[in-house]
Structure 1
């Protein structure tokens, strides 16, 4: 079943570690994606906008949410249950391509972020060794 949820600025849609029963599509507004890093500090990983899909990772893996989602402004999301997602994929395998493209983009983004962090730490190491 698909339903719409209206969100107010600052409202949390779900928190890191909560159950993953639904996927979401941004209809209107922007959402901040954040999680706690190894030091316990909150880091912003992404900002989601209209037509972005999220929440699919936990649903596919049947694992808790890997991030917290917060509305940056008044926003609207479409909520799709795991059962509805699976039914749609069975009836229309092309729908799976949308999810696969989303996952591929996130892998590329994570790899790029990791590369920047590695380069920054390597540069710092070289500078500190040269002094």
Structure 2
């Protein structure tokens, strides 16, 4: 079933106070983009001037250092927004947003957001709350990198993903995102070789099962012990 742009917009919490008329006017200023898997929505150094709405697909927000090493900060699902700093800061972007699969993105220019924000101060309030939440997430990730070993970081990541992206199947509960070992390594902040070694250890111990890049949860309690 093909949904309209208006149907998608109603799924975003940021817009829940918009009237039907405001929604109709809003859809006319949003620009739809289809982004193929592994293609960037924006890169570090790009102008920071747009807000993005993820309609379909999945997106990762990452930092990439000068050597090319990538650290993935967050994974985004349909119904989430990103690029919000572009509404409050003129500095170039410090992160990259990359499609994990074929995705549909709505883009809103800063000047259009400002027009709506004048009459709807709750928009800025909600965005500030979102930025605060993401700052806490980043602080938590930094704490993990500084004070936890790779098995603990990987266990914590898997538990988060099972909570955020669960899918019940006849074969058990799985993380409903296909992730390569390199993508998992980027989320954990470790090398692919180390990540592969720890994943294999978890599999041998009966904590998880991996089928077609889907990870299934087998023993939550043991994962929680490692995560502590």
Where on the TM-score scale, by shorter chain, does this alignment land: which range? 0.7 to 0.9
The within-5 A match list for 1:44-123 is 44-120=72-148
Deviations 1:56-83 (A, max 9, x none): 1133111111111111111111110000
Distance 2:98 2:58 in 1: 9
Paired positions, count: 121
Q: Greater Rg, structure 1 or structure 2? A: 2
Deviation at 1:40, TM superposition (A): 4.8
5+ residue gaps, structure 2, are 1-28, 150-228
Contact 1:31 1:49 in 2 (8 A): yes
Deviation at 1:22, TM superposition (A): 0.9
Higher strand fraction: Structure 1 or Structure 2? Answer: 1
Distance 1:112 1:100 in 2: 18
5+ residue gaps, structure 1, are 122-131
Give the TM-score normalised by structure 1: 0.83
Aligned-CA RMSD value? 1.7
Q: Which has the higher contact order (CA 8 A, sep 6+)?
A: 1
Detail structure 1 runs of 4+ shifted over 2 Å in the superposition: 37-40
Give the TM-score normalised by structure 2: 0.50
Contact 1:58 1:66 in 2 (8 A): no
